[in-house]
Homo-oligomer: A and B are copies of this chain.
Amino acid sequence: MAVGERSIFTAPFVDYLFQVEFIDFPTSENQESVVNQFQKLLTSGEVGAFIFEPLIQGASGMRMYSADVLDKLIAFAQQQDVVCIADEVFTGFYRTGKFLATDHLKNKADIIALSKGLTGGALPMGVTACTKKIYEAFLSEDITKAFLHGHSYTANPLACAAANASFDLLIDPETISQIKMIALAHQKFTELVRPHKQVKDVRSLGTVLAIEISSSGKTTYTDSLRTKILEYFLTRNILLRPLGNIMYVVPPYVITKEELDHVHQTMLKFLNSL
């Protein structure tokens, strides 16, 4: 919680969170200044780890940024012996079109966090994977060196079985071609709605599509459009949970082309209704 942006989710706990430095979100305009800001922080020698959502920041608004800038940040961090942690909870398991979002990069993270797609969303499970170097820092005959932070359901057998079964389905060629179908349909729809007068921004990467709707106020999680979007789609048999004025779609890989077209067309109809 401490490493995420301070927001309404963390407000009640803010006194108990440790201090974290945030860098600006990298856009096509500010890339150089973000890299400079990052390098300045790291050369202070007080930074232990760099944690990031690779390529897409999910709950903060499906914000997308370039692999190029992230590659530069990781390269500099690793040169300074700063541990790089990729939060792939949302982006992992082909969400961005590749197995991991960090597969779009030249430089690799030292630690990755996985969940959601790990069991296809069927059972609660998470994995923290790391490089051999990190693993060996905990490997010892001395029990106090071990990573003792487990819980009652660590390695739950049924969740592990679900993850294995889900992975078999995931790497099936039929699933891979479904992922390509979704990505292509999203891209085409992106171009179609981009000129729409209600569209402030539209972006897609792999199976993720996000439309930022022109809203009277700032783009926030609690924007009043949230309730309106939720109701509009629910009454049309589509479960779509907006982030404020950001309408996004992250379809299950079993969706048919017809179902996906229906989702896209309903999004267009909603935009026309505004």
Contacts and interface: CB of A to CB of B under 8 A. Distances in A.
A76 to B, nearest CB: 27
A72 B156 CA distance: 39
Nearest to A157: B122
B144 A8 contact: yes
Contacts of A11: 144
B89 A143 contact: no
Interface string A1-30: 000000011010100101000000000000
Given A124-B124, A222-B143, A9 B156 contact: no
A18 B18 CA distance: 11
A35 interface: no
A153 to B, nearest CB: 4
Contact of A18 (B16, B115, B153): B16
The A interface, classified by DSSP as helix, strand, loop or mixed, is: loop
A209 to B, nearest CB: 20
A234 interface: no
Interface in A100-148: 115-116, 122-125, 143-144, 148
Given A8-B143, A124-B159, A222-B143, A116 B152 contact: yes
B153 A124 contact: yes
A158 interface: yes
A124 B13 CA distance: 25
A243 to B, nearest CB: 13
A269 interface: no
A9 B159 contact: no
Contacts of A153: 123-124
A8 B116 CA distance: 31
A236 interface: no
B8 A122 contact: no
B18 A123 contact: no
Contact of A9 (B13, B123, B148, B158): B148
Nearest to A221: B143
A149 interface: yes
A222 B122 CA distance: 37
25 contacts: A8-B143, A8-B144, A8-B148, A9-B148, A9-B149, A11-B144, A13-B149, A16-B18, A89-B152, A115-B152, A116-B152, A122-B158, A123-B123, A123-B124, A123-B153, A123-B156, A123-B158, A123-B159, A124-B124, A124-B125, A124-B152, A124-B153, A124-B156, A124-B159, A143-B222
